[in-house]
Amino acid sequence: HERTAHRPGGPAVNATHSSPQILALAGVFQATELVRQAAKQGTWSGYAATASLDSLFRLESDSVEDIYGSRDRLRLGLETLMEVLSGNDVQGDTLQHAVALLQLQRKVVRNGVMMNTVGEGLERIETGTAELEDPQREERRAEQVAQLYTETISNLTPRVVVNGNPRHLQNPRTVVWIRALLFAGLRSAVLWGQLGGGRFNLLFGRRRLLAKTQALLQG
């Protein structure tokens, strides 16, 4: 079987089926929909956000589904992806940020130094917070992931610009989670690319992707 590592130096994940591609793409849209919620509303789905943040630290997963914990933890992303593939009007910021992350991932994977820095940084965060209890561990990880994002990914162009309610965008915790979720979305975008996803799939394989997304939601 063809196997694809989900990050440099990480474990291999099976890429022989197309559902892993769908799950990775749903991971992108889940993160960007959460970013939209945070920026516009000041609140976001904690259950979905936990799944997205946790995916950054799933370094020993044997499958793409394991990276996200379970398919149910990606329901928000799958539902958002289905709306996009169906051609329905979705929140423009969600789609805009997803497209930006899918473009940005190509620059990230070509930057070996940055990939190593990111990988080492995530491992350091995971180790340094392992002894903490939730919710303190989750909040600390979000803060440190946001800082790592600022030091690495945010220096790449084009930068992901998040628009929203100024009152929410001035809230330090909201800003932390927006950056952490963008990082999680980018990680899913990298995984999508490593599993063979690309613009060709989105432009010409929409009906197939939609059918498989619906099947995953109903399964």
Q: What is the mean pLDDT of residues 115-119?
A: 95
**Dist CA 147 CA 50 (whole Å):** 18
Closest CA to 48 of 27, 62, 21, 24: 27
For residue 48, is pLDDT > 60?
Answer: yes
Tell me the three state secondary structure of residue 4: strand
110 contact partners, CB below 8 Å, separation of at least 6: none
Q: What is the mean pLDDT of residues 116-136?
A: 96
What letter would DSSP give residue 116?
H
What letter would DSSP give residue 58?
-
The per-residue pLDDT for 190 is: 95
**Dist CA 86 CA 140 (whole Å):** 38
**CB 201, CB 21: distance < 8 Å:** yes
Closest CA to 189 of 106, 71, 115, 123: 106
Structure tokens at 85: 């593939």
pLDDT tens per residue across span 68-81: 999 999 999 999 99
For residue 183, is pLDDT > 70?
Answer: yes
pLDDT tens per residue across span 16-41: 345 999 999 999 999 999 999 999 99
Q: Exposed e or buried b for every residue in 8-31, given b needs 16+ CB within 10 A?
A: eeebebebeebbbbbbbbbbbbbb
The per-residue pLDDT for 168 is: 98
pLDDT band at residue 201 under the 50/70/90 scheme: confident
For residue 158, say if its preceding peptide bond is cis, omega within 30 degrees of 0.
Answer: yes
The per-residue pLDDT for 204 is: 83
**CB 97, CB 164: distance < 8 Å:** no
pLDDT tens per residue across span 62-108: 899 999 999 999 999 999 999 999 888 777 899 999 999 999 999 99
Residue with tokens 């800003």: 175
The per-residue pLDDT for 18 is: 57
R_g over Cα of the chain: 16
Structure tokens at 121: 């940084």
**Dist CA 56 CA 69 (whole Å):** 11
Structure tokens at 164: 């929203």
Cβ atoms < 10 Å from Cβ of 61: 17
Tell me the three state secondary structure of residue 83: helix
Structure tokens at 71: 């398919």
Q: What is the mean pLDDT of the chain?
A: 89
